[in-house]
Amino acid sequence: MRTSSLALALLPLSVTLAAPADTVTIANANLAAADTVPNSYIIVYKASADDAQIKKYHGEILAKLGKKPAAEFNINGFKAANVVTDAAGLAKVAKNDLIDYIEKDAYVSVAPSTNDTKIYSGPAAQSLVQQPSATWGLGRISHTLRGYFNYIYDTTRCQNTRTYVLDTGIFIGHSEFQGRAVWGANFITGSPNTDEHGHGTHCAGTVAGASVGVCKQGTVVAVKVLSKTGSGTYAGIIAGMQWALNDAYARNMQKRSVFSMSLGGSYSASINNAVAAVVGYGIPVVVAAGNSNMNAASFSPASAPLAITVGASDFYDTRASFSNYGPGLDVFAPGVTILSSWFTCSTCYYYLDGTSQATPHVAGLAAYLIAKEGLTTPAAIANRIVTLSTKNKVINALTSPNRIAYNGNGN
């Protein structure tokens, strides 16, 4: 689903937050006020900062502000904290040699699709080794040519894979999941442990639905970081990533897991560094390029160098008119008129457009290749997706690499 176009982050500026003598450099100072979470900041620590030093500093924050950080993050050496305070309070605690940079916490979101009128209740096609009457997206990623509606895949694969869908949650009772959707964690305060929006259920269905999914026997895990309006924050996204990473390791599933993140906001060094930390810890992260018809370099996590960034193409192999582009993209995938599971009933389906819909095609493909080929590192998975991809078919790819995701099974 299309993500909101937030203000672009430009070069860091010094902004006076308290008295004229108390200036704090904010890395994303140029964000519009409407795009930022009021009185919420992400403080990112230097790589050299150890846990004892950070703990002591958090004690200083408690002493000066009367409260601890709202959240603490430690993802494979990416260490940060979410401090909730006003500008004057930040000025009291911002002068510390442990700090690498500070960002305003900001909103990330999904936006309503333009293709939002087609909904029906009933079963989709039965999955087979060669699944007939599949979605056009499944047909496209299993053939090197467009126009197919049969999905060719290895039915023995995708078992014992785990895709963490960081989104609006998942309606785990949908018939597409056949018990393979599980609730993970909820980072939207006061919200129920279910999908109240639909976006997450739709993306999860494309990853692993029995009939509309790429990786049909895989497990999808709901990590709710976006609300019923489709919005969230940098702090919530980082918290969700940290939880998912810890969960994968606790289950000894780190080499058979994928993160799928169909969300986005303005450029954020903290989000991109958190992605790098997850990838560095051995889990591939697949992200949406965004839906602003702009260079993806201006958005996060789309601009994260170590993420697998996905643009959207249509049935005719044309870059979707809304899809972001640029040399930072890794691959295109079907993202227009995509049918998948919906949250309103256990047999409901919906058509949506967006790089959000392209992303789970590739996240599912990543899980499929992990199981099928025994790939064990994010670099190997990303390289395999690029190597397998169908080349030079995307019309109007602009400055993007001209590749369409392909599972290697068709013609």
Catalytic residue among 167, 195, 247, 330: 167
Instruction: Work out the burial of residue 252: count CB atoms within 10 Å of its CB; fewer than 13 is exposed, 13-18 middle, 19 or more buried.
Output: exposed
Residue among 385, 104, 112 at smallest CA distance from 271? 104
Catalytic residue among 199, 292, 317, 323: 199
Q: Examine the residue annotation and report whether 143 is marked as an active-site residue of this protein.
A: no
Q: Examine the residue annotation and report whether 167 is marked as an active-site residue of this protein.
A: yes
Instruction: Work out the burial of residue 50: count CB atoms within 10 Å of its CB; fewer than 13 is exposed, 13-18 middle, 19 or more buried.
Output: exposed
Instruction: Work out the burial of residue 361: count CB atoms within 10 Å of its CB; fewer than 13 is exposed, 13-18 middle, 19 or more buried.
Output: buried
Catalytic residue among 211, 266, 313, 356: 356
- Judge contact between 348 and 120, C-beta under 8 A: yes
Q: Which residue has the tokens 């170590």?
A: 306
Residue among 92, 88, 36 at smallest CA distance from 60? 92
Residue 165 and residue 262: Cα distance in Å, rounded? 8
Instruction: List the Cα angle 48/54/60 in 5-degree steps.
Output: 140
Annotated active-site positions, please? Answer: 167, 199, 356
